[in-house]
Chains A and B, each alone.
Chain A
Amino acid sequence: MMGAMAYGFEHIFPSLLPVTNLAPSSATWFPLLAGAGIGLLQIPLTLFANRGLGASSAFVTLTAWITKTIDRVLGTRLTNPALECALHSYTDLALLIGTISGSFLSATLSGNFLKPRHPTLFNLIGGFCLIFGARLAGGCTSGHGLTGCGQLKLASFAAVPAMFGTGILTGLLVQSYL
């Protein structure tokens, strides 16, 4: 059904970006194919890494490392039990580092680097809301959207419409008032 929706979207709103071929050196791929590649990553992750795709938990690990360092230097007790557990989740961090390097690899191969800069204020507010919301919801777009919906979890099917609904509302408001 989702696949049919994706195909329908492709049919109604054809890809705006130039799609040449599937070579690693081409700037962009057909979005449906790249998405299918992301979906297929669930198999090795499930079989060998005992987890699903998800990006936001790595930030908790990084925060835990920072708080632990502050604790060691200043002798405070900043690290709470939840962070203490996140200290040792290296797979999250491995996934994050992999993502950074994979994107870097693709960008180097195709020469398609990021050009426009977003307003810094938006980045700051948005970045905070991203991680705060992701941790409150217990997962981010990839955690809830890909892993949770892939497992047919009710919470994820509530989270995704909330995510996109608020996003579209905000986007339209920002567009009309700024």
Chain B
Amino acid sequence: MTIRMGQCTGQHSLCSHFHDELCSIPGFNISIHNQMPMLTTPFIGKASKMEYARVARNGGSEGSGVLITLQLPVSSLQFPSRMQTGYIPVPGKQEFPCVVVSSLFCLPAMSTGSSTTKDWIQRITAAACGVGFGFFLHKAAVFDPKVISDQFVLSNFTMLKTFLSAVSVSLLANGVMSCFPSSQKQLNQIRPPAVKRSLSSVSVGAGILGFGMALAGTCPGTVSSYNFPNHSLSSLLLNSALVAALSLSLCAQLVCWAHMSIASLISACKAGTEKKLILLRIPLRMLIASLASHSLF
């Protein structure tokens, strides 16, 4: 079965990972329809949900197709509203396969590599605000692990005071910004944390985060405001909590990846293809994972 993928509205373009993920379904072969005008600008994303669906075309006849729900991340989300679902009819086919792409967040042309002025304004603003953030964190003394771990044994309330004050001023600032139509539009475009995460995973994750915060005496924001007396910036990056956070997030990634390779092995065994190749890959991945963890500790 050949599926031609395209875009359903002007704001959708092709996702390169679609191709990989759809190709991993046995029996699927996808050709990308490069003649369509917007398809030359790929956008990166993850097809989060795929299912075979019978799709009604023009309210009349039905065609079999693949329903793809896209959940796109983050940073440069441009259209934060729910996209209308659409489909791609392929002309000249009797049983026309359709691709339905629905997207919560559409992320156009991110991988082209060219940065616009708007991107640079965003980055420079982020850097400037980061300087302010680090400065205020340091001035509030929450850079010190002692202050944070004392907060969690309820003997020094500096962190909670800073936090509550920051939250209340953010609420106030957001309230003021929502009064003006132009800034309200900007405010609505911001991606809230934990998009598409269930309440349970948020609370479990926050619990793990709190455990780590009490143990290490820092949090992902304050870990970057660490400073050491020898005035060298490189020593900042060598501090153990930061390195641990980074390396272990990498290791978690590796473990997840090893797990994925096992899953792909099982599916390959079922399909009976590429068996040898994947059998070779797994020990290699395990080796890299163990090497990475050993070299770090």
CA distance A42 to B297 in the complex (A): 38
Residues of chain B lying within 8 A (CB to CB) of residue A88: 44, 75-76, 110-111
**Interface set, chain A 121-178, CB cutoff 8 A to B:** 122-156, 158-160, 162-172, 174-175
B202 CB contact (under 8 Å) in A44, A137, A169: A137
B62 within 8 Å of A (CB atoms): no
Supposing A94-B127, A103-B137, A155-B199 touch, asked if A126 and B212 sit within 8 A by C-beta, the answer is yes
* Cα–Cα distance between A59 and B119 once the two chains are bound (Å): 20
Contact B205 A106 (CB under 8 A): no
| A78 to B158 CA separation, bound complex (whole angstroms) | 41
Instruction: Please name all residues of chain A whose beta carbon is closer than 8 Å to the beta carbon of B276 when the two chains form the complex.
Output: none
Complex CA distance for A115 and B143, rounded to whole angstroms: 11
B25 interface residue, CB < 8 Å from A?
no
Please state if A43 and B224 are interface contacts (CB–CB under 8 Å): no
In the complex, which range does the number of interface residues on chain B fall in?
Answer: 35 or more
Expressed in whole angstroms, the Cα–Cα distance for A83 and B202 within the complex equals: 20
Q: Is there an interface contact between A81 and B212, defined as CB atoms closer than 8 Å?
A: no
Of B73, B133, B190, B207, the contact of A51 (CB 8 Å cutoff): B190
B201–A46 contact, CB under 8 A?
no
**Distance to closest chain A CB from B134 (angstroms):** 3
Chain B stretch 219-262: residues in CB contact (< 8 A) with chain A? 219-221, 223-229, 231, 233, 236, 240-246, 248-254, 256-257, 260
Query: Which of B2-10, B95-103, B148-156 faces chain A?
Result: B148-156
Of the residues A41, A118, A139, contact of B132 by C-beta under 8 Å: A41
- Binary interface profile of B, 22-48, with partner A (CB < 8 Å = 1, else 0)? 000000000000000000000011100
Of A5, A42, A91, the residue contacting B75 (CB under 8 A) is A91
In the assembled complex, B174 has its CB within 8 A of some CB on chain A: yes
* Interface check B273, CB cutoff 8 A: no
When the two chains form their complex, are residues B165 and A39 in contact, meaning their CB atoms are under 8 A apart? yes
Known contacts A50-B190, A130-B216: does B140 contact A149 (CB below 8 Å)?
no
Q: How far is the CA of A120 from the CA of B242 in the complex (A)?
A: 11
CB of A35 within 8 A of CB of B215, answer no
Contact A150 B174 (CB under 8 A): yes
CB <8 Å contact, A104 and B214: no
Q: Knowing A50-B189, A114-B226 touch, does A59 contact B245 (C-beta < 8 A)?
A: yes
Q: Which residues of B contact A85 (CB under 8 A)?
A: 44-46, 72-75, 107, 110
Neighbouring B residues of A52 by C-beta, 8 Å: 190, 192-193
Q: Is B208 an interface residue (CB 8 A)?
A: yes
- Chain B residues near A40 (CB-CB < 8 A): 169, 173
Bound-state CA distance A164–B157 (Å) is 12
| A158 interface neighbour in B110, B154, B202, B249, Cβ under 8 Å | B202
Q: Is the CB of A48 within 8 A of B122?
A: yes
* Interface positions of B from 98 to 138, Cβ below 8 Å from A: 107, 110-111, 119, 121-138
Chain A residues with a Cβ under 8 A of chain B: 1-3, 5-6, 9-10, 13, 15-17, 24, 26-29, 31-57, 59-60, 62-63, 66-67, 70, 74, 76, 78, 80-86, 88-92, 94-108, 110, 112-116, 118, 120, 122-156, 158-160, 162-172, 174-175
